[in-house]
Amino acid sequence: VLLAKVGLDGHDRGVKVVARALRDAGMDVIYSGLHRTPEEVVNTAIQEDVDVLGVSLLSGVQLTVFPKIFKLLDERGAGDLIVIAGGVMPDEDAAAIRKLGVREVLLQDTPPQAIIDSIRSLV
């Protein structure tokens, strides 16, 4: 699982909690760090051959970031990668990114065990 923070959002406490919970559940987890571009995230996901790309957003850029990520994944032949989203966003944005291909949207109040179960189910 690659967990990524894309854009200028500088808050990463939640994604670090998720990373630890996934590791404790036996998953291999890579955390990209803050301020990554869609290109960096896609390149890392492909280089590391991850099964899941989780993008955490608190900055309101989900309708800009996810189209770029999916375009890059398709261009690189990795369109089948499972992409999930986390963080804070309005319900209508969550619905819109699901239509783009995001398989699951796990918002800030999702319990860690539900995130683990969701990823296991998707994989």
pLDDT value of position 10: 85
pLDDT above 70 covers what percent of the chain?
A: 100
Q: For residues 53-72, give the mean pLDDT.
A: 95
- Per-residue confidence band for 81, with pLDDT thresholds at 50, 70 and 90: very high
- Per-residue confidence band for 90, with pLDDT thresholds at 50, 70 and 90: very high
Whether 59 is covered by a domain: the verdict is no
What is the domain range of residue 22? 2-53+68-89+100-122
Angle of the 112-122 helix axis to the 13-24 helix axis, nearest 10: 60
Answer yes or no: is pLDDT of 91 > 90: yes
Residue among 12, 14, 13, 62 nearest 34 (CA): 12
Answer yes or no: is pLDDT of 122 > 90: yes
Whether 112 is covered by a domain: the verdict is yes
The residues, ordered by sequence, that sit 6+ positions from 58 with a Cβ below 8 Å of its Cβ are: 9, 11, 14, 87, 88
Q: For residues 102-115, give the mean pLDDT.
A: 96
From residue 67, alpha-carbon distances to 23, 28, 39, 102, 108 in Å are 28, 26, 12, 10, 22
Whether 58 is covered by a domain: the verdict is no
Rg (CA), the chain: 13
Using an 8 Å Cβ cutoff, are 1 and 50 in contact? yes
pLDDT value of position 7: 87
Answer yes or no: is pLDDT of 52 > 90: yes
The CATH number of residue 105's host domain is 3.40.50.280
Q: For residues 56-78, give the mean pLDDT.
A: 96
User: Domain tally for the chain?
Assistant: 1
